Amino acid sequence: MSGSAARAVTSSGHSGAARIGLGWNRGTPPAALRDVLTDRLATTDHFFEPMAAGVRGDVLLVAFAAQGPGMQQWAAPCAAARAAGVAVDALYLADPSNSYYLQDPAGGWGGVRYFERLIRAHTAGYARVLLVGSSMGGTAALLHAHLGHRAVSFGPRVDLDLTHGAHVPAEPRRACTARVRHALAVMHARGGRAAVHVGAGNAVDMMQARLVAHAPGLALHEHDTFHHNVPMFLEREGLLVPLLKRELLALLQG
């Protein structure tokens, strides 16, 4: 972040620490943007959407947004699963700091603990939890894999030294890789399973995926594309919704 951007964040009343991305948005949009910002996740880091008010669904889908506040690519697939008769509640998560879910609202690097508490508060009481995310959201799905029964990650960044290291301090950068491996190990020990989907033609994504390819209980799926945005590729091929349905069915039958 440039010095001018950091000063702008400070003057807006947010944390004085330099932020990644656009910074955390609090409260309701200003009047000038009230009719422009239509995405709920433009002003918060999470939104819980039950399938039916007052009724707990059979599965909780924990969906992590990719980079950029409010970019939600999982609402439509979730709606399609519901239309097919699967009772799915959804917890949509976003990282307004664009920091791979490593920063917290106070500007520190306690994002892993912050989002874990948030997720645990919503997963309590669910017998089946599916975590899903792409790119930065895919990283988060692996960081918190131990909080679910299945985790599906598309094009995750596991080693931030190789991708985002210039913007993340050394300690949380190293902690990210260690946390992913720990979360996958805990998930496997509890009987959970994880899947990583990656474009076979994307050398960077393949390199990242190989870092966890041999993790116990993890399946690596390579797709015939060079795109980093694997969900977009699968959606265009008519494969994304069927994939999500298969994951949900596996949970229900398990």
Per-residue pLDDT reduced to its tens digit, 218-254: 999 999 999 999 999 999 999 999 999 999 999 999 8
Q: HSE on the CB side for 135, CA within 13 Å?
A: 20
Q: Is the pLDDT of residue 178 over 70?
A: yes
Per-residue pLDDT reduced to its tens digit, 121-152: 999 999 999 999 999 999 999 999 999 999 99
pLDDT at 45 (0 to 100):
87
Percent of the chain surpassing pLDDT 70: 80
Distance between CA atoms of 196 and 145, rounded to whole angstroms? 12
Closest CA to 20 of 165, 162, 141: 165
Domains of the chain: 3-253 (3.40.50.1820)
Residue 88 banded pLDDT, cuts 50, 70, 90: very high
Per-residue pLDDT reduced to its tens digit, 27-77: 555 666 555 555 556 567 888 999 999 999 999 999 999 875 455 679 899
pLDDT at 30 (0 to 100):
60
Residue 6 banded pLDDT, cuts 50, 70, 90: very low
Q: Is the pLDDT of residue 9 over 90?
A: no
Q: What's the average model confidence in pLDDT over 165-171?
A: 76
pLDDT at 5 (0 to 100):
32
- Kind of pairing, strands 59-64 and 193-199? unpaired
The burial of 27, by beta-carbon neighbours within 10 Å (0-12 exposed, 13-18 middle, 19 or more buried), is given as exposed
pLDDT at 162 (0 to 100):
86
pLDDT at 161 (0 to 100):
87
For 120, residues 6+ apart whose C-beta sits below 8 A from its C-beta are 147
Residue 98 banded pLDDT, cuts 50, 70, 90: confident
pLDDT at 233 (0 to 100):
96
- Kind of pairing, strands 150-154 and 59-64? unpaired
The reply to whether the predicted model has a pTM over 0.75 is yes
pLDDT at 243 (0 to 100):
97
